[in-house]
Amino acid sequence: MSEADNLVISQDPTHPANLIPELCRLFYNIGWVTGTGGGICIRDNDKVYIAPSGVQKERIEPTHIFVLPYPQVQSPSPHTDRVFLRRPALDLKESACTPLFWNSFDLRNAGSCIHTHSQHAVMATLLWKGSVFTISHQEMIKGVRIGGVGKALSYLDTLVIPIIENTPNEEDLKDSMAAAMEEYPDAAGVLVRRHGVYVWGLDWQKAKTQTECLDYLFEIGVKMKLAGLPTILEEQI
C-alpha cells in the first residue's frame, strides 16, 4: 500500500472514499447510474474524490477512487492533463464528468456534485423543448436552494433549471454548462438534453437531497404534462 492509498483507506463510514461507493450503490438501485453512467464526486476542502469512468457504479471499492488537488494543479507534462494526489493501481480512468464536476466547485463553491442518467430528467428534457425546465407550486421546490448553495426556495418560487444540448464527448459539455450556470445563477442544477442532469450542493448531503427533490420534480412534471395538467400555475406566469 502506497502512502497515497491512505487518502482512500479509512474506517470512518463518512470518509468520501467510503461514501462514494455507498451512495453509488444507492443511486444504482434507484436507476440513476445504471450501465456505468453517472456518479458523485465529493470535495473536502483542497481534495476532490472522484469515481472511475466506465465501471459498474454499484461495485466501486474505496481503492478505486481518484483523489485530485483543489484547485487544479497545472500538469507539468504536455502528455497528461491532470495531476492526481492518488490514482488506483488498476487500469482505470477518472470519471469523464470531472471537468463538469469542476464547474460546480469553481462557479458555486460546491462541496459535492451528482450526475444522473435518470429517465425522469431525460424525459423532462424531451417534453420541455426550450432551454429551461420550469415548474411551480410543488412542495418539493422548498427542498432546492438558490444556486444550489444559497437559501432554500419558497413554495411561491418557480423552479427553473436550464437545459443544455448534449455533445458526443462528455468533457465538451464543460463550457455550455458553465455558460448556463452564469445565465441562470439561481439554478441548483443543469439538465443535459437526452442525457441527464448535474446537481450540486455545499456538501454531499445537500447535493443528494437536492438531486432527490429535482428528480421528484422532473418525474411529477413529466406525469403532469402527459396528463394534460399545467406545470406552471397561471398567476405565476
Omega before 71 within 30 of 0, i.e. cis: yes
Residues 6+ positions from 173 with CB-CB distance below 8 Å = 100, 164, 166, 167, 192
139 is catalytic: yes
Closest CB to a copy of itself among residues 37, 88:
37
Q: Is 97 annotated as a binding residue?
A: yes
Closest CB to a copy of itself among residues 94, 215:
215
Q: Is 117 annotated as a binding residue?
A: yes
Quick check: 90 and 164 in contact, CB under 8 A? Answer: no
Marked catalytic residue, from 3, 139, 234, 235: 139
Closest CB to a copy of itself among residues 72, 119:
119
Residues at the contact surface with a copy of itself, assessed by CB under 8 A: 34-37, 56, 117, 119, 122-123, 126-127, 137-140, 143, 154-156, 166-168, 192, 194-196, 205, 208-210, 212-213, 215-216, 219-220, 223-224, 226-227, 229
Q: Is 213 annotated as a binding residue?
A: no
C-alpha cell at 231: 406545470
Least distance between a copy of itself and beta carbon 205 (Å): 6
Least distance between a copy of itself and beta carbon 66 (Å): 20
Least distance between a copy of itself and beta carbon 168 (Å): 4
Closest CB to a copy of itself among residues 76, 130:
130
Q: Is 115 annotated as a binding residue?
A: yes
C-alpha cell at 167: 455533445
Catalytic positions are 139
Binding site per annotation, positions: 97, 115, 117, 195
Annotated binding site for substrate: 97
